[in-house]
Amino acid sequence: MNLPHTFSGFITGTFMSSDRRLRSARRCSVINYCVTHFVCLFSCHKLQESLLSSNSGYSNYRGILNWCVVMLVLSNARLVLENLIKYGILVDPIQIISLFLKDPYSWPALCLIIGMISGTISECTGTFLHCINLAALLFVPAGTVLSVSSMTPVGGVVALGVFTVLFLKLYSYRDVNKWCREIRRAKARTLSRSHSCPSVHKANGTTGYTHVSHPGNLTHRDIYYFIFVPTLCYELNFPRSPRIRKRFLLRRLLEMLFLMQLMIGLIQQWMVPTIQNSMKPFQDMDLSRIVERLLKLAVPNHFIWLIFFYWYFHSSMNFVAELMQFGDREFYRDWWNSETIPYFWSNWNIPVHKWCLRHFYKPMLVKGVNKLAAQIAVFFMSAFFHEYLVSVPLKMFRLWAFLGMMAQIPLAYFVGRFLRGNYGNAAVWMSLIIGQPIAVLMYVHDYYVIRCVL
């Protein structure tokens, strides 16, 4: 028996059989791979939500936002072209400048009584003199506007607005110094946090500013700094920014100049013709035409209001704050997300909200007034100043602004009681878009009747 040949044949057969099995296994793996990828390639469904569903987690709607901007530009371009064809170019910057330079007035210098700290003036006498000084800030300018026939409504609004801001500032200045005197008399070593904020903040790098204590704050430098910074609430030590950012300052300045011209142009070119064409339906008491004119006026009025908000609360206040190195830049919050009326009024104008909360609402609660009565009192005070800033410059008293503000109370109850979420937010927007033009038309109609007809 030839064993070597037999063993060799066995080995050869074994290797050939293994090679066939290996090739067969490779073919099977290739087939399985192809089948798997074929199934995966043509398996096009999986468990998922539609992109516009709230559960999808998708949030990139930039294309839709761009579409809205394009549609807004195109629709308003048609309105601009229609306006130019119908009325021509009405924008006249010289006319606006002449309104302010026609009769320039010199404003009286501020004089604040602070002698109570030295004991030369009693608390009662000082409070009485403070009341006279604060009342003069409101009534003397109002009397001047009413008595001077050449005073224009625009000039009157600006003058009364300045003195109203001074009134609120000096009221806060008087309150805080009164609190400091009370603490000083009580032998307190440090001021309460609610009365004074520390000036040293590592976050904003204001380590170069020294901490001021009462009565070291009673200087001309201190009070004039407070008068010029964009806040109504006085503190002994304001948060300060470390430096003036020149690029930021320049951007805000350019925004102020551009948006001011844009507002003036929109008022002259868009609002004035619409208001003038609205007088006849009011005289004829044509309800359908009045509603049509109201809706037509609502769009430009709302645009101008939004531009004014950005111009005043963002551009102008940030410009002044940067110039004065004032650190607290919270001039507004997300009022556009308001789902209730109180949320809007407490977030769209933070300086006024802080003043009302600190110097009016909380002191009333301390004296035992319930929250509802205190809230109504805040709306009442706000309604007074709205009417003050409108009726006095127009030299007529119709109480439309006052009633509009007081109407916010039942509206706030209705929205808070029956509307939630997006419906509440829509109601807030509707009150802003429709409510303001109603007041504008009311005042313009009455002004037209008094000045033109009579």
List, for residues 336-377, the tens digit of each pLDDT value: 888 899 999 999 999 999 999 999 999 999 998 999 899 999
CA distance linking residue 138 with residue 132, whole number of Å: 10
The answer as to whether 252 is a domain residue is: no
Residue that is written with structure tokens 């829509």 in the block: 426
The answer as to whether 422 is a domain residue is: no
The residue from 130, 214, 353, 386 that is catalytic is 386
Q: How far is CA 268 from the centre of its chain?
A: 24
357 CB-contact burial (10 Å; exposed 0-12 / middle 13-18 / buried 19+): middle
Amino acid identity for residue 423 in this structure: Y
- The residues with which 240 forms a beta bridge, in sequence order, are 326
Contact 90, 268 (CB under 8 A): yes
Number of domains in the chain: 1
Q: What percent of the chain has pLDDT over 90?
A: 22
For the chain, give the mean pLDDT.
77
The answer as to whether 162 is a domain residue is: yes
Which of 97-106, 116-125, 132-141, 199-208 holds the top average pLDDT? 132-141
**Residue 212 or residue 305, greater confidence:** 305
The answer as to whether 187 is a domain residue is: yes
Considering the entire predicted model, what is its pTM? 0.71
Q: Is the pLDDT of residue 433 over 90?
A: no
**Residue 80 or residue 156, greater confidence:** 156
CA 180-182-185 angle, to 5 degrees, is 105
Where does residue 325 fall: left (phi above 0), alpha (psi -120 to 50 degrees), or beta otherwise? left
Q: How confident is the model at residue 104 (pLDDT cuts 50, 70, 90)?
A: very low
pLDDT of residue 355: 94
pLDDT of residue 3: 46
Supply the DSSP symbol for 164. Answer: H
CA distance linking residue 255 with residue 79, whole number of Å: 24
CB < 8 Å & 24+ apart, contacts of 412-419: 412/340, 412/341, 412/342, 415/339, 415/340, 415/341, 416/340, 416/341, 416/342, 419/339
Where does residue 368 fall: left (phi above 0), alpha (psi -120 to 50 degrees), or beta otherwise? left
Task: Verify whether residue 386 is a known catalytic residue.
Answer: yes
pLDDT of residue 28: 59
**Residue 283 or residue 10, greater confidence:** 283
Q: Is the pLDDT of residue 205 over 50?
A: no
Burial 136-169 (b: 16+ CB within 10 A, else e): ebbeebbebbeeeeebbbebbbebbeebbbbbbb
Contact 321, 244 (CB under 8 A): no
Q: Is the pLDDT of residue 414 over 70?
A: yes
Contact 222, 260 (CB under 8 A): no
The answer as to whether 436 is a domain residue is: no
Contact 339, 420 (CB under 8 A): yes
Contact 359, 175 (CB under 8 A): yes
Where does residue 377 fall: left (phi above 0), alpha (psi -120 to 50 degrees), or beta otherwise? alpha
Q: How confident is the model at residue 184 (pLDDT cuts 50, 70, 90)?
A: confident
CA distance linking residue 409 with residue 401, whole number of Å: 14
Contact 115, 121 (CB under 8 A): yes
- Which domain, by its residues, includes 221? 92-240
The answer as to whether 352 is a domain residue is: no
Nearest-10 crossing angle of helices 421-448, 287-309? 110
277 CB-contact burial (10 Å; exposed 0-12 / middle 13-18 / buried 19+): middle
Amino acid identity for residue 393 in this structure: P
Contact 307, 454 (CB under 8 A): no
Q: What percent of the chain has pLDDT over 70?
A: 73
Residue that is written with structure tokens 């303001």 in the block: 436
Among candidate residues 405, 412, 375, 411, the one with its CA nearest the CA of residue 389: 405
The answer as to whether 434 is a domain residue is: no
Q: How confident is the model at residue 193 (pLDDT cuts 50, 70, 90)?
A: very low
> What's the maximum distance between 2 C-alpha atoms anywhere in the chain?
143
Q: How confident is the model at residue 264 (pLDDT cuts 50, 70, 90)?
A: confident
Q: Is the pLDDT of residue 136 over 50?
A: yes
Burial 36-74 (b: 16+ CB within 10 A, else e): eeeeeeeeeeeeeeeeeeeeeeeeeeeeeeeeeeeeeee
Q: Is the pLDDT of residue 68 over 80?
A: no
Residue range 98-123: mean pLDDT, rounded: 48
List CB contacts of 189: < 8 A, sequence separation 6 or more: none
The answer as to whether 130 is a domain residue is: yes
Lowest mean pLDDT among 115-129, 298-312, 376-390: 115-129
Among candidate residues 381, 344, 340, the one with its CA nearest the CA of residue 364: 381
CA distance linking residue 305 with residue 289, whole number of Å: 24
pLDDT of residue 37: 53
